[in-house]
Chains A and B, each alone.
Chain A
Amino acid sequence: MTTEIMPGLALQKVDERIMTLNVGPQHPGSGHMRIVVQIDGDYIVACDPDPGYVHRGEEKMAEYRNYITNIPHLERPVIHDSCNVLYPYVLGAEELLGIEVPERAKYIRVIASELNRCIYIMYWLAIYGIFLGHSTMFMWPAGDREFLIDLMEKMSGARVTHAHFVPGGVRNDLPPNFEDVCLRQVNYFEKRIKEYAAVFYDNPILISRTQDTGVLSKQDAIRLGTTGSVLRASGVDYDLRVKEPYDVYDELDIHTNVMKEGDAYARSRIPWLDMMESCNIIRQALQKMPKSGSVRTKLKPNPKTKVPATVYKRVESGRGSLGCYIVSDGKTEPYRLKLSVPSFRNLIALPYLLKGEKLGNMPSVYWSLNYWPVEADR
């Protein structure tokens, strides 16, 4: 229906029946992105997600900085999940630079990564709760997150943007007595999130708003290349921590949560189950971690990769598989760095899920995709 007369300027024929509605980019219900929905009465007939409002050019910036100074800005796409978003980059840089990582550092990374996964999911859960009109579910996760943020602050010194992972290990060793505090906090945290079932997940109002809403079949989930909780809620058993274990995940016993319904309820429940699994993983890692030892292999300043090479590493982040493709030409900076982020991959499912839904169901479907707009834009 549109004819482009100049770049960026298009004429659109106005339909008498279909109304076009811009949701965002500054609407609180859309996050930092615009969703153009076309509605017929109360039903959505077409949906066109338009990300890019917070595009910052992380990939371009990475070409001007060396392998160490790239660390702080690459975690910016998802500051709540900053350890996981750095993880594939650090693994890739280690392979390119040829560094071995001490055993204790690998365990610290696993603990930090699982703590960050919970911190991210709690934030997401708070948003999901408030957009379904459930204020308690905003307050509780936002408050309970603090236990884990305090732990990360003890570990890395920063509450949100840790910049804790570096090629060769982690930046600092754990503070004294961290293991005991961590165990205590994580046990309490797990007890606390189990209480969410009564107030949120078994709540008939939530169930009536999310069950059978925005159903993504298993075939479509695979065909669209979705990942993470969206994929596992549609019945595909795929978790990179189990399927392609990195660092010490192969020494830990990990259970993958899978639900086969594929609706918004399943997609909102999977992250909650993942948090309990994360608590299990943290307890195992604390037990198996070497009690002392080095946590970082020293690097030369301005390290260079030895030969021109490419590397593609991926990890399971709070939202799904997160990949990093680095092309190196043997200089101190990466020649090209590409972040393949789960939010961007899950976004493709949005037009399919919203078609035919009521406009009022848009928040429950959209936020159930575990979507983080800043990450998708990079």
Chain B
Amino acid sequence: MSTETQPSDVISKEKPTPAKKPEEKPVDLPAFEKGLSDKITEKFGDKIEVAFVKEDRVRINVGRENVHEVAEFIRDELNFDHVESVSGVDFPKDKEIEVVYHIGSYTDSSLSRQILVLATRAQREDNPIPGKDATILPTLRNIFYSVEFHEREIFEMFGVFFEGHPDNRRLLLPEDWADLPPLRKDFDSRGR
């Protein structure tokens, strides 16, 4: 069942990601997942925000300046070892582009059901020049090797430049694509 049922979420209609702290809820949280989120909260305090804790999924929102050290902590202390999926989500109203890492673990059998969702946001430009504007995030490739192709895909589809990524070329799009990054909301595929 979709988890966030508190009324405050419904008000923020334009913000699809519910970003409310679970401490305010009277719902009993799953213990193991709560333990994971507590470890991160204990270490980083105000720098991160626990968006939700539900069965098998914990979501952490973090600012772009701290995403590197949080990811390092997740790998070294919490034993997560690979990234399953990297998704971009465009929020034109917030002038931000969200990049969401779904991190899993093969080595630790107690974590094999878990997915830790790490979300960060990059500044969004109305007239993007991919790679040469302020839409920049630090890369996580030196922490999780498996993000290599995923971050290349985000770069071409959203124009988010990953600083420090060794290979920021196009992947899926044609080499001579000169339009907007196509998964942004202002790229309307109808009538093209």
Contacts and interface: CB of A to CB of B under 8 A. Distances in A.
B16 to A, nearest CB: 4
A55 B177 CA distance: 13
A191 interface: no
B181 to A, nearest CB: 11
A28 interface: no
What DSSP secondary structure best describes chain B's contact surface?
A: loop
A314 B84 contact: yes
B82 A327 contact: no
B16 A308 contact: yes
A323 B82 contact: no
A222 B107 contact: yes
A231 B106 contact: yes
What DSSP secondary structure best describes chain A's contact surface?
A: mixed
Contacts of B144: 225
Given A8-B174, A8-B175, A336 B89 contact: yes
Nearest to A336: B89
Contacts of B12: 308
A347 B153 CA distance: 13
Interface in B133-179: 144-146, 148-150, 170-178
B149 A335 contact: no
A192 interface: no
B171 A52 contact: yes
B69 interface: no
A327 B17 CA distance: 7
Given A98-B2, A327-B16, A225 B112 contact: no
A57 B184 CA distance: 12
B128 interface: no
Nearest to A227: B84
Interface string B1-38: 11111000110111111100000000000000000000
Interface stretch (A120-128, A174-182, A275-283, A337-345): A337-345
Interface residues of B, number: 53
A199 interface: no
Interface string A198-233: 000000000000000000000000111101000100
Given A95-B2, A224-B146, A345-B146, A57 B189 contact: yes
B53 interface: no
B152 to A, nearest CB: 10
Contacts of B171: 50-52
B72 to A, nearest CB: 15
Nearest to A100: B1
B84 A345 contact: yes
Contacts of A7: 175-178
Contacts of B170: 52
A57 B18 CA distance: 27
Contact of B9 (A50, A223, A307, A344): A307
B145 A223 contact: yes
